[in-house]
Amino acid sequence: MYFKQILDERCGCASYLIASRGSHEAAIVDPAVETQQYDALLAERNFRLRYVIDTHVHADHVSGARDLRAKHGAELCLHESAQVTYPIRPLKDGEELPLGQLRLRVLRTPGHRLELISILIINPPRSPEPSMVLTGDSLLVGDVGRPDFGGGDAAAQYESLSRLLRLPDWVAVFPGHFEGPCGKGMCGRPSTTIGFERLYNPLARLDRAAFIATLTDGVPARPLNMTAIEATNRGLAEMPWAMLTSTPPVREIDIGALEARPPDAVVLDVREPEEYAHGHVPGAVSLPQADLASRLDEVPRDRPILTVCERGIRSLRAAQFLTQVGITQVASVNGGTAAWRGAGKPVSFGDTALEKSRVAESEWTHAGARSSYRI
């Protein structure tokens, strides 16, 4: 067997190449949008790509599955419940995909997403038992995948975690994420074992009620450009450019500069609507980071743009994305709304729909400033 974990440091995602050294058949699981790395590896090892598998419809990065299928003639596999517009090989729970002497067994583990599966890797010449499991965004190292990306269910996540933890201790766990927004408690390691997680994953020690309460507590921050990325992965849009693929330098300003901003500057609050409604910088416009790419035509290109979030992390990534797509008058507010509030500055409250109406009436967007990017 050949096995390789490929880490993407920009989005904190992991993809996998599994192959039989005997038959030279290969499978790629959860591929990144940049597929040249897989092409090179397949050519170098003289592997033939038989399957490309997405464990679920991703919401934080664009999948390269369709590109790999087109280039290599592989079968594109998703669980049968996946809601996509393109043809797939629908997988069922317990189904096995032959890969030379290897077997890839489908284990349905919904929760983060309805269609989420894990993949058990079995090498019968060595053992009838699985030696590895690719868990996608179900079981992470020290955490589990969030159930609030759309179509998720915390109760189903509890059942899926329980199912995974019934596997033998020795089974090596390779998740779809090692950092990023998918889980707030990930420790950063790219792999673990079932035995270790059963003992030391804090969520594994909770009963059902406490588990659900923990996963549904607080206001979830959806990933940058989630709306456009998910639509692309479902086949409803073609917006691979919605991925943040660079880290361009962005000017950062403090709250003093925010307060003294020029009158034509537009302040974009990229937090979730609920966060915005519970207190925001007066005059700020609510445009959640999850919707930034799909609403890019609302962002003027002829006025200064100041992005703000709670503490400055989301706003920096949003500013980097705006810079990446060619909007140059951008700055991120260091310290965010928390610093503004902590300095005793006034805050506004209210529903985002009312704020959008007010903004529309003030005509902060101009026809000449609209971009051509749309879903």
Q: Give pLDDT tens digits for 176-216.
A: 988 766 656 767 789 999 999 999 999 999 999 999 999 88
On the question of pLDDT at 375 being above 70, the answer is no
Percentage of the chain surpassing pLDDT 90? 83
Q: Which residue has the higher pLDDT, 274 or 151?
A: 274
Does residue 369 surpass a pLDDT of 70?
A: no
Higher pLDDT, 367 or 232: 232
Q: Give me the phi and psi of 58, to 5 degrees please.
A: -75, 150
First to last CA, the chain: 42
Query: Residue 251's pLDDT is what?
Result: 97
309 a catalytic residue: yes
Task: Grade residue 146 by pLDDT with cuts at 50, 70 and 90.
Answer: confident
What domains, with CATH codes, occur in the chain? 2-215 (3.60.15.10), 226-369 (3.40.250.10)
Amino acid identity at 76: L
Question: What is the band of 351 on the pLDDT scale with cuts at 50, 70, 90?
Answer: low
The 8-class DSSP code of residue 168 comes to -
Name residue 372's amino acid.
S
Q: How far apart are CA 122 and CA 132, in angstroms?
A: 7
Identified catalytic residue from 13, 77, 182, 309: 309
Quick: pLDDT tens for 219-273: 678 899 999 999 999 999 999 999 998 889 999 999 999 999 999 999 999 999 9
Strand partners, 136: 175
Contact 49, 18 (CB under 8 A): no
The dihedral built from the CA positions of residue 163, 165, 170 and 174, taken in this order, carries a sign that is positive
Task: Kindly list the distances between the CA atom of residue 250 and the CA atoms of 152, 212, 333, in Å, as whole numbers in the listed order.
Answer: 34, 39, 10
For all residues of the chain together, what is the average pLDDT? 91
Q: Give the integer Cα–Cα distance in Å for 138 and 134.
A: 9
Owner of token pair 């920096």: 316
CB 305 within 8 A of CB 266: yes
pLDDT value for 347: 96
